[in-house]
Structure 1
């Protein structure tokens, strides 16, 4: 008979575990639960924060002991995390303190785009390492798995040792599948690529059909794709299998014929769509499916940086062959969810933008409850650091192949001003009003699935950008073009720099010759027509 029960990580229990615990405790009520409601971040997999919030009412008379002394982080880090989490209404509340000194203030950095952010973070890490900091004590924590790609490519380019908790971007199953399609289109004799995708998604080709295909290839001394073409034109297979194989071969030939006449990113979207591969993941109801679709979109984004499909595939070969162990430690790259329970001397927190963090999908699906869990995730991210935290956001990112303007996360605005040092790229919207409750809509249409429109708090530059982000999105797998409402030579107004003429346009990034401030690069969302 069980007479005493102890539960750890009580904030992560689900409904079934809660009900089972109530039955086990019975009338003896010898129960000890340990947990932190501010670190309940697994609602998406069934955890119910309400279990810990109602502990006192469920077990009246229980002694509540608040463990508020923190032995990990400096004063500024604790104050910053506490300042954000204080905006949650559903919490028990506590006042963290430490015997350590205040330490360094958090740095909040604003960059032009995601590539600038990855370059700057990499440069900062290299400088820290040159000053003697152990790379294994540095972590880059992102909200979603697709965000690792730009950092991985930059780390590889400069030879910075790193490890990814979970699979590296180009080692993820869905990325390998997509690349296999592209490899087979570029090189029809690539048997490894053929074998990976011939039945992905399922095409009704059973073991007997695959064996017959291999026998045909060996007998004719041909690559598998050529053998498949021959086999689909014979009577060796059942009609259903023969038709499925023939359709696959025809698709590969049609896509291959489009290589010279279609932009390679548009071709990739069409291949992933028409092959049924994206449809397979859209129909998948597992928690991982959305992340896999985001990764496929990020793969297409990566292709934008290359002039041709062949150039991209050559780059992938170098990236996938570039893995090597390091004797000097490795930077850790992981999601915020995977970082819970870990600690590092230095933590970089990139991508703090509305729609990415907090996740617009989480807010759309769960409303205020989802937003509070996202805020708890921010709290967890900041408190992974012992000594140093750098948060960052970008003024624009490539979303579904198009440059889209971004605004800083509401969590950035919620940071207490006395805990941060701000370093925003010139012309990128001006100062952020720290220490205020950001008033941002929680639903609506935008490039991330929500308007992100501010009703107060941010300055006029950020407000204009938020307004311009309103509008629908495509599904990420249809061809699109990048248009701007501005034209070369057009006269525009900037809140800080005044009037000027547009001299260069790159997506939503403009170069403007201002009458008094000279030539500046600004994001289109921050200028207006006079």
Structure 2
């Protein structure tokens, strides 16, 4: 409470906090309880400061009430905005302030991803308590096992002076690398470019540069644009691995209804501006077929029965989050169909099949 009561600044000074601390010790109560009962305690606090303390208590209690029904992401996003912490770091402008903004963004992205994953679980609420429990478990599992055969994940700053046979530089997108915070001056943009040079020269044999077509930013799925740094590399040094056989780039009409045409023109690479080629507006029937091939990221089609797996008791499955498991029980029907699965780690999970992303093994 002492860390957040006046951050961002709310006009509650150290003298006031000291008086609250003394009163809390005298009455054997918490500082929060003392603030709740200010009208019954004479602390020689002026009316302006008293009102600010009351506003702070009201804000915290509103979060507590919201927590009773909101999922973890909705609550976290509201707290980040309502407290003014986002505006505070945005005004900061220093490298530390920018780093804190990026940390909050990644935290919100992580919470959003967690909430989406919890939709698979029949008994899950996706609230902040479940998120904190999940983070505690993940921290224990992430301890070093002593196995050297693993991927080294690090920031570019940390990679300075090191070299690796193969390097993967991810997130090569505008407003990410270069960062949106570096667009104010030419010198800031040049610093980002030098940082990219550092990352690129860490590779002894090959460097893989990747970007997404969309990603979560502040918990919202947005379209992404390839980084300008990619265009600055001479094409003779690049092998473009962008897939051309995914549904995004295939013609929506399979049959040649207009006679002989040049098929090579339909199998085009993605244009240099990063946008997929125009293939006209798809029909509803075509969209349904596309969803069967690859459901939209982060937005599973819950109303289409074709995405619900027809599992049976005894089926072995694999889940990206929980690992391999065996179906113990099937219950419900239609969109409410659930599978009780025993995973190899010993956990038994009840998953809603309309959300669960399961791979059938046998």
Give the structure-2-normalised TM-score: 0.59
Deviations 1:400-439 (A, max 9, x none): 22212324434445354565472648527559xxxxxxxx
| Pairwise CA distance, 1:343 | 2.5
Corresponding residue for residue 211 of structure 1: 18
SS in 2 for 1:317: helix
Q: Using CA pairs under 8 Å that are at least 6 residues apart, name the structure with larger relative contact order, 1 or 2.
A: 1
Corresponding residue for residue 244 of structure 1: 52
Corresponding residue for residue 254 of structure 1: 62
Within the candidate set 32, 35, 38, 1:225 is matched to: 32
SS in 2 for 1:403: strand
Corresponding residue for residue 4 of structure 2: 197
Within the candidate set 156, 159, 163, 1:339 is matched to: 159
Q: Measure the CA separation in 1 of the matches of 2:54 and 2:71.
A: 26
Within the candidate set 253, 270, 289, 1:459 is matched to: 270
Q: Measure the CA separation in 1 of the matches of 2:3 and 2:218.
A: 26
Within the candidate set 206, 212, 218, 1:400 is matched to: 218
Corresponding residue for residue 365 of structure 1: 184
Q: Measure the CA separation in 2 of the matches of 1:509 and 1:426.
A: 22
Q: Measure the CA separation in 2 of the matches of 1:466 and 1:249.
A: 54
Q: Measure the CA separation in 1 of the matches of 2:188 and 2:269.
A: 23
The answer on whether the counterparts of 1:491 and 1:500 sit within 8 Å (CA) in structure 2 is: yes
Superposition pairs of residues 377-416 of structure 1, within 5 angstroms: 377-412=195-230, 414=233, 416=235
The answer on whether the counterparts of 2:98 and 2:181 sit within 8 Å (CA) in structure 1 is: no
Q: Measure the CA separation in 2 of the matches of 1:415 and 1:428.
A: 29
What is the root-mean-square deviation in Å for CA atoms of aligned residues? 4.0
| Pairwise CA distance, 1:253 | 0.7
| CA separation of 1:299 and 1:211: change in aligned 2, threshold 3 A | same
SS in 1 for 2:93: coil
| Pairwise CA distance, 1:280 | 1.9
Corresponding residue for residue 308 of structure 1: 127
Superposition pairs of residues 256-335 of structure 1, within 5 angstroms: 256-304=64-112, 305-306=114-115, 307-320=126-139, 324=143, 327-328=146-147, 332-335=152-155
Question: Where does the alignment leave 5 or more consecutive residues of structure 2 unmatched?
Answer: 116-125, 251-267, 305-362
SS in 1 for 2:41: coil
| CA separation of 1:289 and 1:199: change in aligned 2, threshold 3 A | same
The answer on whether the counterparts of 1:490 and 1:502 sit within 8 Å (CA) in structure 2 is: no
| CA separation of 1:428 and 1:238: change in aligned 2, threshold 3 A | farther
The answer on whether the counterparts of 1:348 and 1:391 sit within 8 Å (CA) in structure 2 is: yes
The answer on whether the counterparts of 1:351 and 1:357 sit within 8 Å (CA) in structure 2 is: yes
Superposition pairs of residues 35-184 of structure 1, within 5 angstroms: none
SS in 2 for 1:252: helix
The answer on whether the counterparts of 1:213 and 1:228 sit within 8 Å (CA) in structure 2 is: yes
Deviations 1:375-408 (A, max 9, x none): 4433321211234433322232111222123244
Give the structure-1-normalised TM-score: 0.42
| Pairwise CA distance, 1:309 | 1.5
The answer on whether the counterparts of 1:395 and 1:407 sit within 8 Å (CA) in structure 2 is: yes
Deviations 1:144-193 (A, max 9, x none): xxxxxxxxxxxxxxxxxxxxxxxxxxxxxxxxxxxxxxxxxxxxxxxxxx
The answer on whether the counterparts of 1:232 and 1:242 sit within 8 Å (CA) in structure 2 is: no
The answer on whether the counterparts of 1:345 and 1:387 sit within 8 Å (CA) in structure 2 is: yes
The answer on whether the counterparts of 1:216 and 1:231 sit within 8 Å (CA) in structure 2 is: no
The answer on whether the counterparts of 2:270 and 2:276 sit within 8 Å (CA) in structure 1 is: no
Q: Measure the CA separation in 2 of the matches of 1:371 and 1:428.
A: 35
Q: Does 1:490 align with 2:284?
A: yes
Within the candidate set 235, 238, 255, 2:42 is matched to: 235
Deviations 1:58-97 (A, max 9, x none): xxxxxxxxxxxxxxxxxxxxxxxxxxxxxxxxxxxxxxxx
The answer on whether the counterparts of 1:405 and 1:465 sit within 8 Å (CA) in structure 2 is: no
| CA separation of 1:426 and 1:272: change in aligned 2, threshold 3 A | same
| CA separation of 1:245 and 1:428: change in aligned 2, threshold 3 A | farther
Question: Where does the alignment leave 5 or more consecutive residues of structure 1 unmatched?
Answer: 1-193, 432-456, 468-485, 494-498, 514-530
| CA separation of 1:203 and 1:343: change in aligned 2, threshold 3 A | same
The answer on whether the counterparts of 2:213 and 2:223 sit within 8 Å (CA) in structure 1 is: yes
Q: Measure the CA separation in 2 of the matches of 1:290 and 1:264.
A: 24
